[in-house]
Amino acid sequence: MISKIVKSGLTRRTFLKSTAVTAMSAGLPGASLAAGNTIRIGFLAPLTGAVAAWGKPGLDGCQIWAERVNAAGGIKLSDGSYSVEFVSYDNEYDPAKARTGATKLIREDGVSFIMMLGGDTWPGVQPVADKTGMLFSTLLPSDLSPDTNTLIAPAEVHPIYNVTGVEWLAENKPELKTAVMCAQDDALGLPSVATYLAAFEAAGIEMLDAPLLFDPATTDFAPVVTRLISKDPDIVCLDTCYSDYVHPIAEQLFQQGFKGQIISCTADFYDQMIAKTSEEFMEGFVFQFPDFDDPALNGDNINFTDPNGFYAEFNRRHPGQWGAVSWEYASIMDLWKAAAEKAGSASPDAVAAAMKEGKGKHAFGDADWWGTELFGIDNALVGDWPVVAIEGGKARIKDFRSIPDWYARHGDLLVKHMKAYDQMWDQRS
């Protein structure tokens, strides 16, 4: 499809213009919100398959976000108000399918912005972004490089925020001195391994073995867990394993009698893990993603409208499906909407410029556009991030920690470990 775009004589600028016209053609200048005045947003993420837990709940959250915004009058641009509509494409976490989906969303659906999970699918999409200038978002800043000018990471700073959980653990449980770690060997696992290694080193926690990198096709985790706990660690770190791995690993840790601390990037659907193990076993499990009924999210620092109401509505519609990404794509849309209204336009260039003016209203507080040292470009919105622990069968925020403050003190360690795993932007490109 892209070759057809190029052969047709469309340049990046004329393509952008035609895309904007397509989007704007649904609305009449000066018209109030009405049927037909619609801005379309692309949702290009895994909706099926092993990584669907980081796609489908996000789309479900976006539908709630859209209903809220449309009921409140829509998105107000210089020529009137527009309703918002999400157009989804299931990329099945496959780069080729992601590329096909990006092209379809732009050429056939006329979207003004595309949200992605990122990771292994971004290389498939980047040529489309380069040729069209479409604004994309990723939940994985490790996708960023100086060559990704139209890619932003405004919600999640994976995997850098994982340092906050280790830092909190070291301060609150100083008796924990040793750790082991496992992860799937892919674009999600490796940068997270480097980050956790830096965080453990900064905290003075000894790694008893090199990180155990398992094949993403692994289904039997008994040998993985047997090897992990063979050195009797105080901490088992699950890195950024997918939910389909976190659950059987936790179950194996329970069955093989591990009594120590577990730390993980995510604990999606932790109620199912409790059911497979026990509330006692999961007590104190540390991770990075809160439930949005948490009282700590009602503070003045939070830039997410009515988090408790959003959480209640999500769970009413999708019981048992709340996870790490349920709110993140909706949070990105808060930033996109504010930028579009500030610019008075939904065009990708105008929204991107408005979004990056000054501090950003990140869900967990005001934050700065950051990242040149690690990603080669300041396209990641970075500030505070919560540390969450399971207490009495329920996730609760224990603290908010500053990622930039940690980096100011230990950034050299992060760079060292990122280089060791070939995860710096100039090693990935």
Q: Which helix (H) or strand (E) covers residue 138, if one does?
A: none
User: Which residues, 6+ apart, have CB-to-CB distance to 313 below 8 Å?
Assistant: 64
The answer to which of 207-216, 270-279, 287-296, 317-326 has the lowest mean pLDDT is 317-326
pLDDT score for 324? 85
CB 192 within 8 A of CB 223: no
Ramachandran sector of residue 36 (left: φ over 0; alpha: ψ -120 to 50; beta: rest): left
Beta-carbon contacts of residue 249 (< 8 Å; ≥ 6 apart): 182, 221, 224, 225, 238, 241
> Residue 265 in contact with residue 158, Cβ under 8 Å?
yes
Cα end-to-end span (Å), the chain: 24
CA dihedral 402, 406, 407, 413 (to 10 degrees): -150
A 10 A CB-CB count for 217 gives: 7
Torsion angle, alpha carbons of 399, 404, 406, 409, to 10: -150
Place of tokens 């026990």: 278
Residue 3 has pLDDT above 50, yes or no: no
Please report, for the chain, how many H helices and E strands are present, in that order.
17, 17
How far is it, in rounded angstroms, from Cα 330 to Cα 91?
A: 19
Residue 188 has a pLDDT of 85
Q: Is the dihedral of CA 201, 144, 292, 406 positive or negative?
A: positive
**Measured distance CA(183)–CA(200) in Å, rounded:** 16
Say if residue 259's pLDDT is above 50.
Answer: yes
Residue 11's pLDDT is what? Answer: 34
pTM here is 0.85
Q: Is the pLDDT of residue 2 over 90?
A: no
Please provide the average confidence, as pLDDT, over all residues in the chain. Answer: 91
Nearest to 91 by CA among 113, 119, 112: 119
* pLDDT exceeds 70 at position 35: no
Burial of residue 96 (CB within 10 Å: 0-12, 13-18, 19+) is exposed
Residue 394: which H helix or E strand, with range? strand 394-402
Distance CA 215, CA 199 (A): 24
What is the pLDDT at residue 404?
Answer: 95
How many Å apart are CA 99 and CA 125, to the nearest integer? Answer: 5
Residue 16 pLDDT greater than 90, yes or no: no
Question: Does pLDDT of 102 surpass 70?
Answer: yes
| Residue 34 pLDDT exceeds 70 | no
CA dist 170 and 402 (Å) reads: 15
The structure tokens listed for 179 are 């750790």
Residue whose structure tokens are 């992605």: 116
The SS3 assignment for 54 reads helix
Q: Which pLDDT value is given to residue 296?
A: 96
**Cα–Cα distance for residue pair 221/217, rounded to 1 Å:** 11
Token readout for 6 is 């190029």
Percent of the chain residues past pLDDT 90, beyond the cut: 85
Decide: 139 and 159 in contact? Cβ < 8 Å.
Answer: no
Q: Which residues of 387-403 are buried (b: 16+ CB within 10 A; e: fewer)?
A: bbbbeeeebebbbbbbb
Each residue's pLDDT tens digit, 307-361: 999 999 999 999 989 988 999 999 999 999 999 999 999 999 999 999 999 899 9
DSSP β-bridge partners for residue 370: 380
Task: Average the pLDDT over 298-310 and give the result.
Answer: 94
